[in-house]
Structure 1
Amino acid sequence: MAVRPVPSRTSAAPLAAGEPPFDRRRSWLVLGMIVAFMMINYADKSVLGLAAVPLMDELGIGKSTYGLVSSAFYVLFSVTGLVVGLLSARWSARTLLLVMAALWAVAQLPALLATVPALIAGRLLLGAAEGPAASMSMHALYAWFPPGRRGMPSALQIGGAALGTAVSAPILTWLIVDFGWRSAFVALAVTSAAWGALWYAVGREGPCGGGRDRKPRPAGRDRTAPAAEGVAAPAAAPPPLSRLLRSRTVVGGVLSAFGSHWALALSSAWLPVYLHTELDMTAKRASGMVSAVSVLSLVLLLTVPALLDRRGRRGRRGPAADGLAQGLAVLVSAAALALLPFAPGRPVQLLLVALAFACHSVALPLHYVTTAAVVPAVRRGAVFGVVAATGTLPGMFVPYLTGRLVDGAGTETAGYATAFLVSAGVLAVCGAVAAVTVRPGRDARALGGEG
């Protein structure tokens, strides 16, 4: 009787030469932890917007000052994203994520003092600790998933952001309404500390490259090729960082992320306030709408990248598919923002709000996938850090700029209209450029990327 092979935890798919085995169980455990990490990350970002109205009322501050507090989150966000990305080859991703979670917990506490300087200090620290979060958690994730398996994990990682907002918005609003806005900050501090303790217990470095624990394998003879004096030639050195960053795919990906983060900064700081003051929603109804937008984001994140991956495996993914998907996602949001000030009624307004603040999110996982495709693994962490630092720059000024536009206009409605039209113009340019420049297949061949 024939003996059937015992199933293994690793993938049954054939492995390329030198490719480490795929540990499905451990990989999905790490993915689950990283999704939770991103959920907390975006709950931290959204809490200030959810608490904005009672916070402004208690502190007696205007929209410009609130916008300044909100923008403080991003002052160090890009800088730390860049610095940590460049240092990621020396520090393990496991350690980096653990330190970030600990700092998130500490950064929530200054809000309890309920002064503008304390709020700014807390948001500065939180932004510094969250700046590297998306890129380094994606870097840690890619150490567990080889190139052909990254589409859905990437979408789930970014989807953790949408899920975090969808889940946290009603919970945090309930805490704010029933127990005061400070209670929401305390709850997030406890949640971040709990995640850090669990990550310390289960977090590991992956076999596909990541942190300093990954040592390069010694060069050996290629057994599939004839021996040439007994030793194979050493691998070619990866291209310099400057050349990788000038790749059209990387530049286009940065622009799609820039447009997406512009819309994200606008919604995180101002969407709850806009729904409450302009559309006359109660705090709980506004949080429900924020959750609905996040659910739509999550649906798009779980379908579009998966569809692209499926078409790629069947050989039907054209060379422009990734660029068009990134560009169109941002362009749809741009069109919805441009139409929002002229919407004729509440149902149309809510539909345009959903499209404006959900569709752009598709660009975020795709720009990491396309960047990783053209960048050698040894340079991935550094490039991700630079990409994240430049792509997230809008957060430094969009919340404050919006506050100034609203305060400086004749009416709040006119101020929001101006802010939405300016945002639509920026998103349209970013989306159009990304659509025509992102071509990972072309640039991977030139740069020795993973493909």
Structure 2
Amino acid sequence: MANPPPSAAPLDADAHTVPDAEAASAPVFDRRHAWLIAAMIVTFMIINFADKSVLGLAAVPIMAELNISNSTYGAISSSFSILFSLSGLVVGFVSARISSRVLLFTMAMLWAVAQLPVLVMASVSTLVAGRVLLGAAEGPATSMSMHALYKWFPLDRRGLPSALQISGAALGTLIAAPVVTWLITSFGWRSAFAALAVTSVVWSAIWWKVGRDGPYGAARPARDRAARDRAAHTGAAPAPPQQRLPYRRLLTNGTVIGSIAGAFGASWAMALSHAWLPVYLRTQLGLTPGTAATLISAIAAFSLVLLLSVSPLVDFLNRRGVSTRWSSGVPQGIAVMAAGVAMAALSFADGQVLAIVLLALAFGGHAIVFPLHYMTTAAVVPPLQRGALFGIVAASGTLPNLIAPYLTGHMLDSADSQSAGYTSAFLLTAAVMLLTGLVALLTIRPERDARRLGLVEDSAA
């Protein structure tokens, strides 16, 4: 295959591989408002992950007050994901017809409502009801907030904003762990749920004022029709329609499969972290609530450093002409596999210091997968279908949220000891991560798949 001419732009992680119609119109980059939107979306993600973490942080007092078993607690935690993937899928498909402003506002308001049942009456049923509603409202959160973010940043400026958006997960844990733990120990575990409800309402009010859609979003069908009507009236040549491809072709290419696999492995570890890591630190390592919260925050800080270091490096490498496979695909597979190795070694660690290091690697080292798997997916999908594909990838990649918490609780109750139960859970998680990381390593090839889908011209043609 002939080399591209020197003037050709390198293939970038998002749409240097995809001829984006929005780039042709060269919208003006509003730096100030774009970064305001980025700040709002990072805050949105912080609240999102604080909501996810609150049950795990309050698990010990909740289990004691309601006298529930590990399996029951695991089922409550897993109930969060009953509608999580389905809602992410559905909202992804309707995102082309509803503005990001409305979608994110509605989600955040539902988060507030989801905290209310347990404040009225604390029971297993109200905990399940609140978690199911919260899961349904948070299912599309990551994919749709990333979609909203991409509407404000041009194609070669998305690495750092993507990392910051995903860093909301680390920041949510970093901030939530000490704050929520303080609320629980000082005012009771219900106070944490109430505080998160108020926070969601405040964010929603601000977002409604500032959260309009940006100029880099895919045009809606109604706008396309209006443009064709104006062209017919003036006699000008109409703009070419934005490209669409069958979803079967998009979902069966190696890059999308590998991106889903990497996210699946990373999400398994994250689901285990949200549901069981606080309990493990207190019951197995003997840490106090405050020390456990500090350690969880330290792991989140490690994830944040990785996120803020790797994604800008990806943008730099792409601008230097490094292929997206090596800048974004290979790191996903390596990160998941390395975290899986640490997870397997965790059960055999001798000494608390080594255990803490392995905990950081196992539960924080996979963080870079989440921004990168969106970037590699976006590289092989037309912009008009980006929201729907993000919804599908998020729904598939986050299925471990439904499986891992309950399965871990069942292992704990059926094992000879809790220590043996955690060993089994960690080894299973390691096996899942090693397998999915290997799939990601071998199959994510955005340039190749973009050519096969006809999204870029083959220079040998």
TM-score (norm. length: structure 1):
0.92
CA contact (8 A) 1:144 1:207 kept: yes
Q: Which residue of 2 aligns with 1:378?
A: 384
Q: Once the 2 structures are TM-superposed, how far is the Cα of residue 232 of structure 1 from its aligned partner? A: 6.9
Inter-CA distance 143–230: structure 2 relative to 1 (3 Å threshold) = closer
CA contact (8 A) 1:139 1:210 kept: no
Q: Which residue of 2 aligns with 1:415?
A: 421
Q: Is 2:44 the counterpart of 1:37?
A: yes
CA contact (8 A) 1:207 1:214 kept: no
Aligned residue runs from structure 1 range 240-251, under 5 A: 240-251=246-257
Q: Which residue of 2 aligns with 1:3?
A: none
Question: What is the aligned counterpart of 1:328 among 316, 334, 338?
Answer: 334
CA contact (8 A) 2:265 2:336 kept: yes
Question: What is the aligned counterpart of 2:178 among 170, 174, 178?
Answer: 170
Query: Secondary structure of the residue that 1:445 maps to in structure 2?
Result: helix
Q: Which residue of 1 aligns with 2:198?
A: 190
Q: Give the Cα separation in 2 of the matches to 1:260 and 1:107.
A: 26
Q: Is 2:89 the counterpart of 1:86?
A: no
The aligned amino acid for 1:181 is W
The aligned amino acid for 2:66 is L
Query: Secondary structure of the residue that 1:351 maps to in structure 2?
Result: helix
Inter-CA distance 235–361: structure 2 relative to 1 (3 Å threshold) = same
Q: Deviations over 1:224-276 (max 9, x none)?
A: xxxxx974783474211221111211110001011111010000000000000
Q: Give the Cα separation in 2 of the matches to 1:213 and 1:167.
A: 41
Inter-CA distance 124–189: structure 2 relative to 1 (3 Å threshold) = same
Inter-CA distance 232–100: structure 2 relative to 1 (3 Å threshold) = closer
Q: Which residue of 2 aligns with 1:77?
A: 84
Aligned residue runs from structure 1 range 35-184, under 5 A: 35-112=42-119, 113-184=121-192
CA contact (8 A) 2:227 2:238 kept: no
Q: Which residue of 2 aligns with 1:404?
A: 410
Q: Give the Cα separation in 2 of the matches to 1:230 and 1:111.
A: 60
Q: Deviations over 1:274-297 (max 9, x none)?
A: 000000000110011110010001
Inter-CA distance 57–213: structure 2 relative to 1 (3 Å threshold) = farther
CA-based RMSD of the aligned residues comes to 2.1
CA contact (8 A) 2:379 2:446 kept: yes
Question: What is the aligned counterpart of 2:258 among 243, 252, 257?
Answer: 252
Q: Once the 2 structures are TM-superposed, how far is the Cα of residue 311 of structure 1 from its aligned partner? A: 1.5
Q: Is 2:365 the counterpart of 1:359?
A: yes
Counting matched residue pairs gives 431
Q: Give the Cα separation in 2 of the matches to 1:212 and 1:126.
A: 29
Q: Is 2:439 the counterpart of 1:433?
A: yes
The aligned amino acid for 1:38 is M
Q: Give the Cα separation in 2 of the matches to 1:448 and 1:38.
A: 34
The aligned amino acid for 1:291 is S
Q: Give the Cα separation in 1 of the matches to 2:386 and 2:286.
A: 46
Q: Give the Cα separation in 1 of the matches to 2:40 and 2:237.
A: 42
> Which runs of no fewer than 5 residues in structure 2 stay unpaired?
1-21, 230-234
> Which runs of no fewer than 5 residues in structure 1 stay unpaired?
1-14, 221-228
Q: Give the Cα separation in 2 of the matches to 1:187 and 1:232.
A: 52
Q: Which residue of 2 aligns with 1:348?
A: 354
Higher RCO (C-alpha under 8 Å, 6+ residues apart) = 2
Inter-CA distance 38–318: structure 2 relative to 1 (3 Å threshold) = closer
The aligned amino acid for 2:127 is L
Q: Which residue of 1 aligns with 2:211?
A: 203
Inter-CA distance 325–94: structure 2 relative to 1 (3 Å threshold) = same
CA contact (8 A) 1:219 1:232 kept: yes
Q: Which residue of 2 aligns with 1:223?
A: none
Q: Give the Cα separation in 2 of the matches to 1:210 and 1:160.
A: 25
Q: Once the 2 structures are TM-superposed, how far is the Cα of residue 400 of structure 1 from its aligned partner? A: 0.3
TM-score (norm. length: structure 2):
0.90
Q: Once the 2 structures are TM-superposed, how far is the Cα of residue 105 of structure 1 from its aligned partner? A: 0.2
Q: Once the 2 structures are TM-superposed, how far is the Cα of residue 218 of structure 1 from its aligned partner? A: 3.1
Inter-CA distance 450–194: structure 2 relative to 1 (3 Å threshold) = farther
Q: Give the Cα separation in 2 of the matches to 1:16 and 1:61.
A: 55
The aligned amino acid for 1:197 is A
Moved over 6 A (4+): none
CA contact (8 A) 2:324 2:446 kept: no
Q: Give the Cα separation in 2 of the matches to 1:380 and 1:96.
A: 16
The aligned amino acid for 2:279 is V
CA contact (8 A) 1:72 1:396 kept: yes
CA contact (8 A) 2:177 2:296 kept: yes
Query: Secondary structure of the residue that 1:320 maps to in structure 2?
Result: helix
The aligned amino acid for 1:183 is S
CA contact (8 A) 1:144 1:208 kept: yes
Inter-CA distance 81–318: structure 2 relative to 1 (3 Å threshold) = closer
Inter-CA distance 368–236: structure 2 relative to 1 (3 Å threshold) = closer
CA contact (8 A) 1:333 1:356 kept: yes
The aligned amino acid for 2:359 is V
Q: Give the Cα separation in 1 of the matches to 2:386 and 2:338.
A: 29
Q: Once the 2 structures are TM-superposed, how far is the Cα of residue 315 of structure 1 from its aligned partner? A: 2.2
The aligned amino acid for 2:51 is D
